[in-house]
Amino acid sequence: MAERTAELQESIAELQENERQREQLESEKSVLSGQLETRKLVERAKGILQRELKISEEEAYRSMRRQSQQMRKSMKEISQSVILNDELKRNSE
């Protein structure tokens, strides 16, 4: 009986550890998904700036970074603004 109880406790401990690891992986996945989304937005916004302002990729990035710092906004927010502005401009043409 004591042996069976020990086995059950060991199984429960393993399941709890597996669940903790799963939650940690889910959290990491969420963070990475957010970073990937931001990167995609930044790349899209850089492309818009390059096209509209006839500047290099590096200049577009520096411009966005400077704007981000001056306005105390994230690169994601700046990118979303650039993209939205481009979409509004294109829809009004």
pLDDT at 4: 83
Q: Which domain, by its residues, includes 82?
A: 2-92
Domain tally, the chain: 1
The predicted-structure confidence for 8-33, as pLDDT tens digits, reads as follows: 999 999 999 999 999 999 999 999 99
Token pair belonging to 93: 């043409």
Say which residues have a Cβ less than 8 Å from residue 49's Cβ, sequence separation at least 6: 55, 60, 63, 64, 82
Distance CA 16, CA 43 (A): 41
Residue 6 has pLDDT above 90, yes or no: no
pLDDT on residue 40: 98
CA distances from 34 to 39, 67, 81, 84 (A): 9, 21, 17, 19
pTM of the model: 0.77
Here the CATH number for the domain that contains residue 77 is 1.10.10.10
Q: How do residues 30-67 score in pLDDT, each as one tens digit?
A: 999 999 999 999 999 999 999 999 999 999 999 999 99
In whole angstroms, give the CA distance from residue 8 to residue 36.
Answer: 41
